[in-house]
Every structure is written in structure tokens, then in C-alpha cells.
Amino acid sequence: MAFEGIAEKLQTVFKKLTGRGKLSEADIRAALREVKLVLLEADVNFTVVKQFIKSVSDKATGQEILESLTPGQQVIRVVRDEMTELLGGTLSNIKMASSPPTVILMMGLQGAGKTTFCAKLAQYYKKKGRKPLLVACDIYRPAAIKQLHVVGQQAGVDVFDMGTEKPEKIYKEALKLADRSGIDLIIVDTAGRLHIDEEMMGELKTLKKKANPTETLLVLDAMTGQDAVTAAGAFHEAVGIDGVILTKIDGDTRGGAAMSVRAVTGKPIKFVGTGEKTGDIEPFYPDRMASRILGMGDVLTLIEKAETAFEDKKALELQKRISRDQMTLEDFLDQMEQLRKMGDMGDILKMLPGGSKLSGLSIDEKQLSRTEAIVKSMTMQERRNPGVINGSRRKRIAAGSGTKIQDVNRLLSQFEQMKKMLKSFSGKKGKRGMLNMPF
């Protein structure tokens, strides 16, 4: 989970506040001192922390808060609101050109995940009906062009390159191709370096001037904390940026970059990378992220993930079969595969309110794989009518899936119990109802 370290520590602090019936100004000051330490340990910029604590303190020590029936909850609400503002306030979408194509210039230091994120962004907008093109203008890094072709293929998006020609020439020819092919979104992968230097900044400024991009986005590695914020300031001062993309946020235990970059640069975080696959991308919602950090869950993102993973037609067909008590093990297998598309099951659970308290819960992916193997070892008749599975069939299924007969028996028993439970939920229609399926 993003910000897992900071989230656990903050929730420990606030648990002390909510456990009391009344609070004094001294109680709140003591809690905010702990919050300050947590944020500093998370590598949040010192000036940003100082301003954040002052703003929370001014609003949390008023008589209205102290005399309320739930002062602890009121303080947390203030912290959430201030954290939302710190993270950017509201969702900041990528601006689209009024006259196509929209041109997005991607910048970043080597190793931040810029090239991979170009493909993620292209796939994201392709699913929204855009026709994107990836343009290879990183002509210095060994295998950079090949990498863009590989991730572009994974995303199902075309890649344009001209080898090691000058980036301005490559972009000019890509623009001609876009005009001929009806491409309405051009994403330009530019050269990165291991560190910031004048040569790189000069090349980026020249390319930006020629391309006149709709948006210039800076890709930062969230794991690098304040180094990422320093880089953001340097890029913005030298070239100018419209927004930030944070990668590797799924492994960020500090959170300093995300909580500092908006305050330091004045530019919003627009997207985050949540994994290595081309589909592991999320728009950055400051309010949802603040809620996650404070253990309030993120049900809206969870629902959106479900709506992306589960297909309308399949969901409606399954709903009908459930209501008629006709659900089969084929349906079970299909829904397991759809649920896996939503991402890591541990992270999914933590999006539920209070889900962060399940940090010690381990989702046994091996068990899911065993369950899948058992169902796939059945014949079509057995999947559609589990009632025909007698003793000899169970023995064959167990042998075919590399499991024990007890495992097969357990799955069949759980499937029958689940069918009964889902039938009771059959009034909840559509994709959101799929969230009730306890796979």
C-alpha cells in the first residue's frame, strides 16, 4: 500500500485522541508534535511540515472542536482536510488540446520509470477512446528505443522512432504521421540522465520550444523522497512543468515526495504508478489519498477498479444466473480471473474503511492458484454441474490439480455456501454487486 509506514504511525497517534471523551489544547498539541515527527521521518519537506502543523493547530484548537461530542474525530477531520489541500486539493486532469493532436512531453531522470509510464499513459487514454502514439526521443540511453517498443506493444500502442536522429526532427516526422493517421494524442519520451546537467536541460528546452506541447509532465520516483522534490524544482525552473507523475508509489514507505512536491513547485500530481504492469496507473485524487493515509479507506477507487475489471455484459448475465440459482464453477473461475485484474488483494482490502488495520492479514495467492487449478482440472460437465462429482471424480480432479481430495471437497462445499449467500444478494445488480463475491 502507498504510504503504509506513515499511515500506520499516524493512525496510532490518532487512536490516542479518539480514545478520550474530552480533549484539551495540551492533548492536541502533544498529538501534533507526534504528527510532526511522523511527517519529518517520512521525508516531508521541513517548511511544508511546519506550515501544515500550524494550519492544523489553528483550526483544531478552537472551542467548537474542544467542546464537541467527538473532539478526537473532529481533529482527524481537520487533519484530513488540511492533508487533502497539501496533496493538491482536487483532481487535476491532463489538459487536452482543443484541436488535435494533444502533445504530452514526458521528462525525468534516468531510472524514474519515465519510459514505462509513457506506455501506461498511452494505454490509459486508449481505453478512453483516444488514438495515441508513442514517440521515441530518448536517443542516448542504450536500449531506450527498444524498451519503448516493448512497453508500447504491451500497451497495444504504436511507437514511432527514427533511431538516433535529432529529437526535434523525430518529433516533426511523428507529427506528420499523426496528421495522416488520425492520431489525436502524442506522448513524447525524452532523454533522461543520472543527474541534472545543463546539456540535458538545454535539449529539453529546445524540444519543448519546437513541440509546443499541450502538457509537460515530470516523472519522479516516489521512493527517492526529498531528492525527487529537489529534482522537480530544478526541472520546473529550467524547463517549466505543468504537472508531476509519481512512480513506484506502491513501494513508498515514506511519502515525502507526494506530500511536498505540490507545496514546493506549485504544480499538481496528475497520475501515480501503482505497479509494474502497463495497467498499473491511477489518477491522483488528493482527497482519496488523504483518506487512505488516515485509515478511512478509498471505496470510490475500489469501485472504479471493479468497474474496469468486470464487464457489463458478463456481470448482468451472472446476476441473472445467481438469482435463478444457476451459477456454475465456470462462473466462479471467470470471476476469480476478473477479480485478480483489480490488483493485489491485500491492497484491495485496505481500500475498505478500516482496512488498514488488516495490515497483518496475508492474502494467500497460492491458495487462489490451487483453487484455480482444481476447477481447471474438471471436465466441462463437472464445472457446469458439480453434483455429478462423485468419489472417483474427486480423486481424478485432485491428482490432475496436484492437490488433495480434501482440498477438492473443501472447494465444492465453499462453492455451495457461496451460491446460497450470493442468491440472497441477488437484488444488488450490476458490476458493483461483484464486490460482494468473496473469492
Span 196-235, pLDDT tens digits: 888 888 889 999 999 999 999 999 988 877 788 888 888 9
Q: Would residue 328 count as lying in a domain?
A: yes
CATH of the domain at 127: 3.40.50.300
Judge if 244 and 137 occupy the same domain. yes
Judge if 180 and 290 occupy the same domain. yes
Judge if 124 and 273 occupy the same domain. yes
C-alpha cell at 49: 511540515
Higher pLDDT, 63 or 104: 104
The CA-based angle 121-122-126, given to 5 degrees, is: 120
Look at residue 76 and tell me whether its pLDDT is greater than 90. no
Element (H, E) at 269: strand 269-273
Higher pLDDT, 106 or 193: 106
**Strand, coil or helix: 320:** helix
pLDDT at residue number 27 = 85
Count CA within 13 A, CB hemisphere, residue 231. 27
Closest to 393 (Cα-Cα) out of 248, 385, 22: 385
pLDDT at residue number 439 = 37
Judge if 79 and 115 occupy the same domain. no
**Strand, coil or helix: 281:** strand
Judge if 159 and 281 occupy the same domain. yes
CA-CA distances (angstroms) from residue 89 to 85, 173, 225, 434? 4, 39, 21, 31
Q: Would residue 194 count as lying in a domain?
A: yes
Judge if 232 and 353 occupy the same domain. no
CA torsion sign for 238, 243, 248, 253 is positive
Burial class (CB in 10 A: 0-12, 13-18, 19+), 246: buried
Amino acid at 333: L
In percent, the amount of the chain with pLDDT more than 90 equals: 38
Buried b / exposed e over 46-58, threshold 16 CB at 10 Å, is eebbeebbebbbe
Which residue in the block uniquely carries the three cell numbers 483532481?
91
Query: Which strand ranges, in their side-by-side order, compose the sheet holding 243-247?
Result: 158-160, 132-137, 185-190, 102-108, 215-221, 243-247, 269-273, 281-283
Strands 281-283 and 269-273: antiparallel
CB atoms under 10 Å from CB of 45, counted, come to: 22
Judge if 108 and 252 occupy the same domain. yes
Judge if 256 and 228 occupy the same domain. yes
Q: Would residue 209 count as lying in a domain?
A: yes
Domain boundary among 62, 86, 110: 86
Judge if 316 and 283 occupy the same domain. no
Look at residue 300 and tell me whether its pLDDT is greater than 60. no
Question: Considering its fold, how many domains does the chain have in total?
Answer: 3
Higher pLDDT, 293 or 400: 400
CATH of the domain at 75: 1.20.120.140
Q: Which of 41-50, 186-195, 337-346, 427-436 is predicted with the least confidence, judged by mean pLDDT?
A: 427-436
Q: Would residue 91 count as lying in a domain?
A: no
Q: Would residue 94 count as lying in a domain?
A: no
C-alpha cell at 241: 512543468
Per the structure, the complete domain to which residue 338 belongs is given by: 311-436
pLDDT at residue number 59 = 87
Look at residue 360 and tell me whether its pLDDT is greater than 60. no
CA 260, distance to chain mean position in Å, is 19
Judge if 353 and 243 occupy the same domain. no
Distance CA 47, CA 210 (A): 37
Domain boundary among 58, 86, 114: 86
Look at residue 32 and tell me whether its pLDDT is greater than 80. yes
- CB distance 48 to 263 below 8 Å: yes
Confidence of residue 94 (pLDDT cuts 50, 70, 90): very high
Closest to 235 (Cα-Cα) out of 220, 225, 224: 220
The CA-based angle 413-349-283, given to 5 degrees, is: 135
Q: Which of 121-125, 236-240, 303-307, 399-403 is predicted with the least confidence, judged by mean pLDDT?
A: 303-307
Confidence of residue 435 (pLDDT cuts 50, 70, 90): very low
C-alpha cell at 64: 467548537
CATH of the domain at 354: 1.10.260.30
Confidence of residue 426 (pLDDT cuts 50, 70, 90): low
Domain boundary among 296, 330, 360: 296
185-205 mean pLDDT: 88
Judge if 169 and 285 occupy the same domain. yes
Judge if 118 and 265 occupy the same domain. yes
**Strand, coil or helix: 114:** helix
Amino acid at 288: R
Q: Would residue 358 count as lying in a domain?
A: yes
Q: What beta strand segments (E) does 109-258 contain?
A: 132-137, 158-160, 185-190, 215-221, 243-247
In percent, the amount of the chain with pLDDT more than 70 equals: 78
Q: Is the pTM of this model over 0.85?
A: no
pLDDT at residue number 402 = 92
